[in-house]
Amino acid sequence: MNKKIILRDDEMPKQWYNVTPDIPNGLLPPLDPETKQPMGPEKLGAVFPMGLLEQEMSSERFIDIPEEVQEILKIWRPSPLVRATNLEKALGTKAKIFFKNEGVSPVGSHKANSAVAQAYYNKREGVKRLTTETGAGQWGSALSFATSKFGIECKVYMVRVSFDQKPYRKSMMNTYGAEIVASPSPDTNTGRRILAQYPDTPGSLGIAISEALEDAATRDDTKYALGSVLNHVVLHQSIIGLESKKQMEIAGAYPDVIIGCCGGGSNFAGMACPWIPDYLEGKKIKFVGVEPASCPSLTMGKLAYDFGDVAQTTPLLYMYTLGHDFIPPGIHAGGLRYHGMSPIVSAMVRENIIEPIKVHQLECFEAGVLFAKTEGIIPAPETCHAIRGAIIEATKDLNDPKTILFNFSGHGLIDMASYDKFYAGELHNYDYPEEEIAKSMANLPKI
Amino acid sequence: MNKKIILRDDEMPKQWYNVTPDIPNGLLPPLDPETKQPMGPEKLGAVFPMGLLEQEMSSERFIDIPEEVQEILKIWRPSPLVRATNLEKALGTKAKIFFKNEGVSPVGSHKANSAVAQAYYNKREGVKRLTTETGAGQWGSALSFATSKFGIECKVYMVRVSFDQKPYRKSMMNTYGAEIVASPSPDTNTGRRILAQYPDTPGSLGIAISEALEDAATRDDTKYALGSVLNHVVLHQSIIGLESKKQMEIAGAYPDVIIGCCGGGSNFAGMACPWIPDYLEGKKIKFVGVEPASCPSLTMGKLAYDFGDVAQTTPLLYMYTLGHDFIPPGIHAGGLRYHGMSPIVSAMVRENIIEPIKVHQLECFEAGVLFAKTEGIIPAPETCHAIRGAIIEATKDLNDPKTILFNFSGHGLIDMASYDKFYAGELHNYDYPEEEIAKSMANLPKI
């Protein structure tokens, strides 16, 4: 058998799959943060283009991928499906392990899939400039890449601590022509207010979101882009699962278990959703969402309406959350540090379709190093969580010839500093204590 | 037409192509540095395994790729051939530009092609440990990856200035389990001697080669590996050109011009050599080797026997050289800073098959940024030279519908610091003055 299952450009899916009409008991709508009433496209239109809002609310199962978007995706897509034969051997398991390699994108992760689509719809509606926030830098570099393809300006509010510690991400965004500023910045009211009060703050994703939103809301030529959580992002990521279905068929295999890491939820949902119709028709598939024990929104959070940011400026989303003022501990190296979770993933956890598990970071880095030594590719810290999930499944019973499919969301070449911290013994496991979570949960908005 | 031409795993070449029997007027043998007589495998056997020495001296046109090597190459090979449609559009040229994307390897460059083969032949002969030197870090990480696949220990002597400035490369090698030491190191006689004399030296590739050779020569379980220049390295890289031939045929195109950047010569030769038989049969192909003006071995050097290292410990190779004590200026960011050149490339320049050109680094970085903005992928500084060469060819006459094929030897994600220096205006063009070259040329060994 071939180690890699590849598809030609002309075999790339021409439609995205929208899981929302297939979710048992459906999704609850986003609420206006002021009125607490369902929020329609008219108000959201201040920061998002209509093309994306239509997708956000759509109940169509399949939505055409515009040709211009297809053309750019073909720079790296379809991505390879790989049989992790060397990892299987090292584990001594009879399980077959497949992974979908999203690390082949120009920016090294799946984030580019949605960035290209978002840049396209903004361009189509005459938007001249996009703002966004970035923490680890994956999304910021993906949007910088995508906007460069459509001739849109891009301003990235990058969390100060990342801005200082991840110079390569900054250089990538520079190369694609984006403007990058450390957040909090002197460029927004929110930023100025926080800088006046805490001049030495390392910043946070919550602050950066607020700055990017304020920038977009106050300029007519500018809209805002988000890299995960929302339905339209999950829709764009469905291309991962759609390609995987074709490729698994070519491999003559069918997954018993599908695994992904969960931060905002888009990479896991992108892989998992296209398999949901099979599941609903009776196929036995176990979906496992792997989250860090230090930020356990699915395993220890609550399904409730909550804000997407600390500043309480976003619409209220119905999702698993640890509370919008939850601050994940700094000892955790990877991404996946978001207090909430995609409403789509949340609903599928509620319906017991997805089984969430939490893992500790040291076991994840160990899994990542084993993967690098066996399959050759160094995974991003986030992706190490998915690999750890796959190893757990593959070693439960070494004689069980089950088929495991996981999403390799990105490579780690631009995040080697995390590995250095791991080697230096500077990373530690952390279980978020229930009483701490209870505190941030107490501040959930009253609906 | 598809943007990418891909091959399935089972379409990967099963033999390497050895150009040496096809080079008009042939190659001159390496000489023993002491006796100045042709050097046979018995003496070289102290540092290289017989399997590789046989390839070094072979006159067979095709040599089987061992199955174990094929299996590992299939982690990323066959690599895609891509039509640079967006770059063509940006240039306004009627030329068709194709590139072979070697950046998809786990370590981000073509270097892995030879590293895997070298690790295999050493393993087959019971070698327990390999040493090598690395400058920019591309080769060191490739060999670390390859040795991890065969369970061989690996020690990398990394030029001190890179060791300090390129922490991500070091982390990569760590992840693959290699031992890395800054060169000059306290671990060898050469290193200790130089450290005693110049405790603050930034090191050099010449010193690092001497250390790695000394280490290998003084331990029975250890051999030495070199990432470019030698015939067996060029042989392993021929897989690039062999795949490209199949892919260009699928694309329905034939190259009028073939371009690569030249440092030690292996990536360019790997692409070019498999097309040489066509050329000798009368096909009109222009082969262009692009080198930096600051290290112009092919355009300003001399074809002569010279040492591969500053310490004069290697065999004498017949090659274009600037003199073994030539020191390239520190203002140049990329690799390609070797004083010599692969004897195979050198012979083809002598025979007027390959046309060398020199380019300045600022135009190369500009070409790299344009490539990133159009084709999405950020190129390694070395690869920017090949892109610049392709742009020169494509814009000589914008209405000439010629077909250009270049080797995209690696991505730049682990070398973004060079881009930062470029953006900060810290890089400058440099033409190596003839009188300076004359000085280092005066020290060529007398044969």
**CA gap A22, A9 in Å, rounded:** 29
For residue B325, the model assigns a pLDDT of 83
- Round to whole Å and give the CA distance between B334 and B327: 14
**DSSP E strands, A102-198:** 129-134, 153-159, 179-183
Decide if A165 touches B, using CB distance below 8 A. no
Mean pLDDT, range B340-346, rounded to an integer: 97
Average pLDDT over residues B34-60: 93
Q: Which residues contact A204 (CB under 8 A, 6 or more apart)?
A: A159, A310, A327
Check CB contact under 8 Å for B171 and A420.
yes
Contact B271, B244 (CB under 8 A): yes
Percentage of chain A beyond pLDDT 70 is 99
Q: Mean pLDDT over residues A396-421, rounded?
A: 96
What's the start-to-end Cα distance of chain A, in Å?
55
Instruction: Average the pLDDT over each of A87-96, A251-260, B338-347, B434-443 and give the range with the smallest value.
Output: B434-443
Rounded to the nearest 5 percent, the helix, strand and coil shares of chain B are 45, 20, 40
**Per CATH, is B4-8+65-108+240-441 categorized as 3.40.50.1100?**
yes
Tell me the pLDDT tens digit for each residue of A129-156.
999 999 889 999 999 999 999 999 999 9
Instruction: Dump pLDDT digits (tens) for B175-223.
Output: 999 999 999 999 999 999 999 999 998 888 888 999 999 999 999 999 9
B-chain residues near A146 (CB < 8 A): none
Question: What's the CATH number for B16-61+110-224?
Answer: 3.40.50.1100
Contact B135, B110 (CB under 8 A): no
Q: Which of A268, A274, A282, A233 is nearest to A382 (CA)?
A: A268
Q: Looking at the predicted structure, is the pLDDT value of residue A331 above 70?
A: no
What is the mean pLDDT of the segment spanning B24-35? 95
Residue B243 has pLDDT above 70, yes or no: yes
CA neighbor of B141 nearest in space, from B112, B181, B184: B112
Q: Which residues of A touch B72 (CB under 8 A)?
A: 376
From residue A370, how far is each of A105, B153, B349 by CA, in Å? 23, 16, 45
B99 band by pLDDT with thresholds 50, 70 and 90: very high
Taking 80 as the threshold, does the pLDDT of residue A308 lie above it?
yes
Which pLDDT score is estimated for B316? 96
* Chain B residues touching residue A10 (CB < 8 angstroms): 2
Say which range, A75-84, A162-171, B56-65, has the weakest mean pLDDT: A162-171
Residues of A in contact with B149 (CB under 8 A): 86, 373, 376
> What integer best gives the mean pLDDT of chain A?
95
In angstroms, what separates the C-alpha of A19 from chain B's closest C-alpha? 29
> Do the beta carbons of residue A344 and residue A245 sit within 8 Å?
no
Inform me whether the C-beta atom of residue B416 falls under 8 Å from chain A C-beta atoms. yes
For B416, the closest chain A residue by CA position comes to: A168
Portions of chain A given CATH number 3.40.50.1100: 4-8+65-108+240-441, 16-61+110-224
Residue A147 and residue A177: Cα distance in Å, rounded? 9
Chain A residues with CB inside 8 Å of B172's CB? 378, 413, 416
Residue-wise pLDDT for B430-443, tens only, equals: 888 888 889 988 98
% of chain A with per-residue pLDDT over 90: 84
Query: Given pLDDT bands bounded at 50, 70 and 90, which one contains residue A61?
Result: very high
Residues A216-243: tens digit of each pLDDT: 999 999 999 999 999 999 999 999 999 9
CB pairs under 8 A between A and B: 122
- How far off is chain A from B202, nearest CA to CA, in Å? 23
> From the list B167, B175, B423, which residue is nearest A174 (CB)?
B423
| Whole-Å CA distances, A177 to A141, A277, B425 | 10, 41, 16
Answer whether B171 sits within 8 Å of A417, measured CB to CB.
yes
DSSP string, B164-197: HH-HHHHHHHHHTT-EEEEES-TTSHHHHHHHHH
The pairing of strands A222-224 and A302-306 is unpaired
Nearest CA in chain A to B102: A104
Q: State whether A6 and B6 contact (CB < 8 Å).
A: yes
For residue B331, pLDDT over 70 is answered with: no
A266: part of which helix (H) or strand (E)? helix A266-272
Collect all residues of chain A within an 8 Å Cβ-Cβ radius of residue B3: 9, 71, 74-75
| pLDDT for res A312 | 87
* Predicted confidence (pLDDT) at residue A1 exceeds the cutoff of 80: no
Yes or no: say if B284 and B258 are a contact pair by the CB < 8 Å rule: no
| A2 vs B9, B177, B375: nearest CB | B9
Mean pLDDT value of segment B89-116:
98
ipTM: 0.94
pLDDT at B77: 97
| B149 interface with A at CB cutoff 8 Å | yes
Given a cut of 80, whether residue B22 has pLDDT beyond it is yes
* DSSP state for residue A274 in the 8-state scheme: G
Asked if A202 has any chain B CB less than 8 Å from its own CB, the reply is no
Q: Which of B3, B9, B172 sits opposite A4 (nearest CB)?
A: B9
Over range A327-356, report the average pLDDT.
Answer: 88
Query: Measured between CB atoms, does A426 come within 8 Å of chain B?
Result: no
Place A293 in a pLDDT band, splitting at 50, 70 and 90: very high
pLDDT tens-digit readout, B378-429: 999 999 999 999 999 999 999 999 999 999 999 999 999 999 999 999 999 9
